[in-house]
Amino acid sequence: MNLSFYYWLGLVQSAIVVENATLTDNLVVKYYGKGDFVKRFRQVFGLALLIITVFLFLYGIGDLEKAEEVRLQRKNIEQIFQKNSDAYAWIRVEGTKINYPVLQHPTDDAYYLTHDAEGNETQYGAIFTEKVNQTSFEDPVTIIYGHAMRDDSMFGSLDYLAEPSTFESIQTVTITKDGKDFLYQIVAAYSFPDDHLYHTYGLGDLKQVESYVSLLEARADENGGFYRPFDFDVTRDKLLILSTCDVAGNERRFVVHAVRKGES
């Protein structure tokens, strides 16, 4: 919303404060006579309207800041997509610092372990998928990888979900692709041996996917993780797995599972 709207609203509200104070004063004088009561009533009434004016103005500023943040993020997304054709989507996880492009190298699955979204060599790497997955997010299971950096960048804040209170409060992963937001509900999070999930459990096969999903609750319990019940139709639903190294243990990974619930 345009800032000028709130500017003029503030002026109008200020004028109302003055005008209503005068009208209120006249009415009170008419029925109750002059005195300290009139003065006090006018002060309280005027103060209330002033508080409302300030609130509306600050609320408008908050809306503008949020809109500007969204605009800058969209611009950033467009710039990254223009610079690197490997970038094909954007991932956000509410309540964490995860807000990055998703990439897939056409020939080297390990490339983005050591390169950022602009192709620069770095220990931080980037957020990426492997060639076993399509970039459409229409596979039964899509796995997204990223390093767990100690400054919480990349997938470093994914382990927020290792805490019970955080698992309860953080429930949504958003994948933005081609102007659409795919919304996923987080259903499980736990530390697990460092297996290549896709190949180890044959997640390209629907029957294997069905078996894998049916054992999610048991795996979460066995590994001290968390789980929330969900329905899953292997012929229709889509499972998203976020996988990163587990900083708490060697040769283990921290994995978060989410099921697509809709799009906007």
Catalytic residues: 147, 245
CB 144 within 8 A of CB 241: yes
Q: How far is CA 218 from CA 135, 221, 228, 253, in A?
A: 30, 5, 12, 17
CA 121, 122, 126, 132 torsion-angle sign:
positive
Pairwise CA distance, residues 251 & 246, whole Å: 8
Axis crossing angle, helix 36-83 with helix 3-32, rounded to the nearest 10: 170
Structure tokens that stand for 139 in this block = 């596979």
Rounded to whole angstroms, the maximal C-alpha distance in the chain is: 88
